Amino acid sequence: NKSSQLSSLPLQILLYVNGVYYIFYFLATLAMIIYKSQVFSYPDDFLAPDLAVLFLMAILEVPRLYLGFKGNLTEAEAPLGLSLGLTVGSVVLCVYLLLWQTYVLWADVLLNAVLLSAYGLESGLKVTAIAAFVS
């Protein structure tokens, strides 16, 4: 019976696609940072924060997706709320990579914009799901 299932299917699909896309995003951004460090003048003081942000985002992504999956499937609002909180952190880091990186290439803009829109859509769906679980 469809009405008894509160888990959101679009959210599940989006989380799955987000996971796959994130792997591609991480490798592409890392490769571009390496490319930038070879082609442009990229001193170590500027390279370190950019790499730190990228790796921090990768570390945040794993629990964020796991909690999202778990919360949606078990119809529990606590993990989903926690995942939403981690999404806020990921959004901040994504905005950093979009605007305040040392060199922002056009490919960077595209990748980060797609990721940001995915986060935004996910957050909306999570809020809807939490509302459905709570009520």
Partner 1 sequence: PVETPDGAQARARSLPAPVTDVAKLCVCDLLVAQCDTNCCCDPDCGAEDFSLFTACSVPVVTGDSQLCSQKAAVYSLDVEANPPERIFKLIDQVNPSIFCIHATNYKQALYLKSPEIPTPENFDRLLDKFGGSTFSAEPDSWNLDTDAQNPPDTNETYRYEYGAPVHTEDAFLRLPSPVVSSWCSDANPAGFLVNQATKCIRSVSVEKCDSIQALSMLFYINSSILASAFQVNITVQSIVVQSQNGMRTLLNSSDVLRLPMVLDGLCINAVLGVNYHITHTDTGEIIEAAAAFVLGAISKETLSIEQSFEISFTQENTQPVPLSGNPGYVVGLPVRAGFRPQGYPFPAAFSSSNKHSQLTILQSTSTQDCLAAQGARAPVLFGYNMISGCKLRITAAMKCQPLAQTLLDVLKGQSFPEYVASFGNSQAQDVLDWVPITQLHISEQMISNPLQSSCQIPVSLGIEVKWTKYGSLVNPQARIVNVTATITTSTLKQLPSGRERIIPVTSSVVFTDISSPAEPGYKAWPTINIKLPFDFFYPFV
**Which residues make up the interface to partner 1 (CB under 8 A)?**
32, 35, 40-42, 46, 99-110
Taking the complex as a whole, the smallest distance from the CB of residue 64 to partner 1 amounts, in Å, to: 27
CA-based angle 53:57:59, to the nearest 5? 120
* Minimum CB distance to partner 1 smaller for 109 or for 127: 109
* Minimum CB distance to partner 1 smaller for 26 or for 35: 35
Taking the complex as a whole, the smallest distance from the CB of residue 104 to partner 1 amounts, in Å, to: 4
How far is 29 from 49, CA to CA, in rounded Å? 14
Tokens of 106: 């056009």
At position 41, the amino acid (one-letter code) is: S
* Minimum CB distance to partner 1 smaller for 9 or for 110: 110
Taking the complex as a whole, the smallest distance from the CB of residue 32 to partner 1 amounts, in Å, to: 7
CA-based angle 96:58:102, to the nearest 5? 30
